[in-house]
Amino acid sequence: MSAQRHQRVLLKLSGEALMGEDAYGINRGTILRMTEEVSDVANLGVQLAVVIGGGNIFRGVAPGAQGMDRATADYMGMMATVMNALALQDALKHRGVDARVQSALNIEQVVEPYIRPKALRYLEEGKVVIFAAGTGNPFFTTDTAAALRGAEVGAEIVLKATKVDGIYSADPNKDPSAQRYSRISFDEVIARRLEVMDATAFALCRDQKLPIRVFSINKAGALARAVNGEDEGTLVHV
DSSP collapsed to 3 states, the chain: CCCCCCCEEEEEECHHHHCCCCCCCCCHHHHHHHHHHHHHHHCCCCEEEEEECCHHHHCCCHHHHCCCCHHHHHHHHHHHHHHHHHHHHHHHHHCCCCEEEEECCCCCCCCEECCHHHHHHHHHCCCEEEEECCCCCCCCCHHHHHHHHHHHCCCCEEEEEECCCCEECCCCCCCCCCCEECEEEHHHHHHCCCCCCCHHHHHHHHHCCCCEEEEECCCCCHHHHHHCCCCCCEEEEC
Residues of the binding site for UMP: 54, 74, 135-142
Instruction: Report the binding-site residues for ATP.
Output: 12-15, 55, 59, 162, 168, 171
69 contact partners, CB below 8 Å, separation of at least 6: none
Q: How many helices (H) and strands (E) does the chain have?
A: 8, 11
CA contacts within 13 A on the Cβ side of 215: 25
d(CA 178, CA 145): 30
List binding-site positions: 12-15, 54-55, 59, 74, 135-142, 162, 168, 171
